[in-house]
Amino acid sequence: MSELKDVITSYNSLSFSDRIVFYTTISNDMPLKDDLQSFLIETRLDSDSCIYCKGMHVVKNGKRKDGTQRYLCRCCRRSFIPSSDSITSRTRKSVSVWAAYLKCMLEQKTLKETSEECHISMSTAFTWRHKILDTLTELTERTYLTGIVEADETYFNVSYKGNHKRSRHFSMPRKAHRRGNDIRAKGLSSEKVCVPCAVNETGISYAEPGKPGKVSSECIKRVLGKKIAPNATLCTDRERAYQDLACTNELKLIQMDTDCRTTQKGGKTYDIQRINAYHSRLKTFIRKFHGVSTKYLGNYNVWNDLLSGNHRKTEEFIVQLWGQLLCARITRYGYDIPRRPPLPVTA
Ligand SMILES: [Zn+2]
């Protein structure tokens, strides 16, 4: 019993990130061995179903040169290996490298720090970052904000960083800025991208780059319309665009002056403090990366949303998330990452 007590005492003294490593080592949800292939076979090919059509008629279909088992689905006639269409596809790193990588992401480490800690190249670290964030976007697609939802838009400078000058698909629409700081146009010009944001009372948040320039009804409806649950109460400043959103989505709307701390309605108190705090956290988070390219800004919003909200920091959540990330079927591939449009595609 004293050994158990020692373990509990040691566990309690661990930092949050070390607890994740501890959990990823002992949890049943996670592979016990450092062998990615056997973990993927156990989790993705459960009950021998096909990873594409979930058909049950899957047969072994020889091995690849490196010894990886190949499978064939007799229903959809597609051939696959355990890592096909997953974030680990075409990578040859072990589970522990992926676990260390996720730990770095949760600690908001830079690409340089991550590549040194995980012994991977900078370009691999970059690709993995966006593969994970793309997968997270897909996994959280059906998450809605319910209850009292505070919403407001914020702005980020448009950055064309990462779009190659000699690319056949991209030509710089303006002269390059030095480190993105010398934007001369005052106010909300097309040099800034509008990012509608929303956060609810339980701390679940959502933000996505809308389009360059001033906020519009279309931009708010496109970004927040799909994320706010029907019957939610929307609290905003006096911007007209939110009236259109509330009308279209049949939401109860409470609007107040920006400098007003709280407002009373029907015996209840409403405010927009939470969304203001969210904006300042988001700005601080983005600043850490010394200029984020607009084409990747959406992914950084997803990353920030993952980190904010206390309930999301429980070890159980991290383990589940980790298992889901490794097993999820992806629809956006690593080689497509640099080919994204430089600005958000507006509907
Ligand atoms: Zn199939």
Q: What is the pLDDT along the chain (347 residues), one digit of tens a residue?
A: 677 788 778 877 776 556 666 666 655 444 445 577 877 887 788 767 898 888 889 999 999 888 888 999 999 999 999 999 999 888 888 878 888 888 888 888 999 999 999 999 999 999 999 999 999 888 888 788 999 999 999 999 888 776 665 666 656 666 666 654 555 555 657 789 999 999 999 888 999 999 888 899 999 999 999 999 988 999 999 999 999 999 999 999 999 988 777 788 888 888 899 999 999 999 999 998 887 899 899 999 998 988 876 555 566 776 777 778 888 888 877 777 777 878 876 64
Dist. CA 79 → ligand 1 center (Å): 8
pLDDT of amino acid 24: 60
Distance (angstroms) between ligand 1 centre and the Cα of 72 equals 8
- Whether the CB-CB separation of 279 and 155 falls below 8 Å is answered with no
User: Rounded to the nearest whole angstrom, what is the distance from the C-alpha of residue 82 to the centroid of ligand 1?
Assistant: 13
Q: Could you tell me if 296 and 162 are in contact, meaning their C-beta atoms sit under 8 angstroms apart? A: yes
Cα–ligand 1 centroid distance for 42 (angstroms): 17
pLDDT for residue 186? 58
* Nearest residue to 132 (alpha-carbon basis) of 319, 261, 306: 306
Check residue 14 and give its pLDDT: 73
Measured from the Cβ of residue 257, the count of other Cβ atoms closer than 10 Å reads 10
pLDDT value, residue 32: 45
C-alpha pair distances (Å), 252 with each of 44, 148, 229, 234, 275:
42, 9, 11, 6, 17
- Compute the distance from residue 46 Cα to the ligand 1 centre, in Å: 13
Residue 339 is predicted with a pLDDT of 78
CA of 55 from ligand 1 middle (Å) equals 5
CA–centroid distance, residue 85 to ligand 1 (Å)? 13
Tell me what pLDDT residue 197 has: 96
pLDDT recorded at residue 331: 82
